[in-house]
Amino acid sequence: MPKIDNLFYQLIERNGSDLHLAQGSKPKIRINGTLTELNEPVLTSEYICEILLEIAGPELWRKFQNSGDIDFAYELGNGSRFRSNYLRHFYGFGAVFRLIPSEIMTFDDLQLPRVCKSLCELHSGLVLVTGPTGSGKSTTLAAIIDYMNSNFIKKIITIEEPIEFLHHNKKCVIVHREVGTDTVSFSQGLRSALKSDANIILVGEMRDRETIELALTAAEMGILVFGTLHTNSAAKTIDRIVDTFPGAKKGHIREILANTLQAVLAQQLVRSSDGTRRWAAFEILLRTTALPAIIRAGDTKLLKGEINTHSNVGMVSMDNSLLSLLQESKITKEDAYLKALDKALFRNLR
């Protein structure tokens, strides 16, 4: 058994989400959003290299030494899987491992807003699931893919780095492709997917201009595209996409986005009042008759009013979602304030 597996088992036993290793420090795990130090020796240069090399293997280790970063999935003997990221830093080597749940959670398990099921019934367009790292984007997307796999006959292609949740074919044909192993990049994987008669494409991360443009092209062609961005609101999501492109092209991108954007689901996790779990807060923007004109005009500050006006169809702003959690005593005033987009709404509550 690899020596590092002992740390993984401690993470699992304590219901943690992440294992953090850094040369010169003791191993730490994140539990309900809080980092906790393990009762283990300080990681020396020799030892951290030994345990990281052991599970990466020579080929990935050479890639890591050349680039300073690698991402891959690692599986324990008990079937638990981890999203692994190795990195070099000022003091030496480090790594972060995210525990991937062994079972795909359903909408009910996650207590996702009911409107999420309507996203599964779309036939084309772009749906963006956004939020900071560790906010549960992959878990939400896994629930969406699983629901479609159970209820519709479709061909689904996922492009990820690395592959996280493994879906077995139910009613759908699901093809998993890993960047770096099955395709050289997200953009190359998308190009191939456009020619593969896919109904649905999941892009694990829309991180560069080429990938974003290809995702928009796929949505324009009549494919349903799910993608992720590291933004925390609908307005910032649209602005981020448009601002990725040079000035002369922004108008064209706004036009395509106006024609294809179906929904933005922004989420973040907030520590519960008793510290035993985390609650998800959401901002949900759905397509309305006014949305295309707002996108074309680049007037994203109007989205807040659009969301509040259509709360009856399932839209909600991030701040109102936080207020609801606060009113239900699920989170504290302090944590609501820290996560709020409009701090003034929560300042008087502190």
Supply the DSSP string of 56-123, one letter for each residue. Answer: HHHHHHHHHHHHSEEEEEEE-TTS-EEEEEEEEETTEEEEEEEEEPSSPPPHHHHT--TTHHHHTT--
Do 200 and 268 fall within a single domain?
Answer: yes
Q: pLDDT over 70 for what percent of the chain? A: 100
Question: Do you find a cis peptide bond into 162, omega within 30 degrees of 0?
Answer: yes
Do 323 and 230 fall within a single domain?
Answer: yes
Q: Which of 100, 121, 140 is the last residue of a domain?
A: 100
Interval 144-169 mean pLDDT:
96
**Which helix (H) or strand (E) element contains residue 278?**
strand 278-286
For the chain, how big is the Rg over CA atoms in Å? 21
Residue 14, pLDDT > 70, answer yes
Residue 221, pLDDT > 70, answer yes
Do 128 and 215 fall within a single domain?
Answer: yes
Q: What is the pLDDT of residues 65-103, one digit of tens each?
A: 999 999 999 999 877 899 999 999 999 999 999 999 888
Q: Which of 72, 100, 128 is the last residue of a domain?
A: 100
Q: What angle (nearest 5°) sits at the alpha carbon of residue 251, between those of residues 248 and 252?
A: 95
Residue 347, pLDDT > 90, answer no
Give phi and psi for 38, each to the nearest 5.
-85, 155
Do 138 and 66 fall within a single domain?
Answer: no
Question: End-to-end CA distance of the chain, in Å?
Answer: 50
Residues 6 or more apart whose Cβ sits within 8 Å of residue 281: 267, 268, 269, 270, 318, 321, 322, 325, 339
Does residue 275 or residue 157 have the better pLDDT?
A: 157
172: domain CATH number is 3.40.50.300
**Which helix (H) or strand (E) element contains residue 225?**
strand 224-229
The closest of 15, 10, 13, 12 to 277, measured between CA atoms, is 15
Q: What is the pLDDT of residues 311-321, one digit of tens each?
A: 999 999 999 99
Residue 111, pLDDT > 70, answer yes
Q: What is the pLDDT of residues 289-329, one digit of tens each?
A: 999 999 999 999 999 999 999 999 999 999 999 999 999 99
Interval 37-49 mean pLDDT:
96
Residue pair 194/95 in contact by the 8 Å Cβ criterion:
no
Residue pair 223/201 in contact by the 8 Å Cβ criterion:
yes
Q: Which of 100, 123, 156 is the last residue of a domain?
A: 100
Please, what is the average pLDDT of the chain?
Answer: 94
Give phi and psi for 78, each to the nearest 5.
-90, 5
Structural domain range at position 159? 107-347
Give phi and psi for 18, each to the nearest 5.
-140, 145
Number of domains in the chain: 2
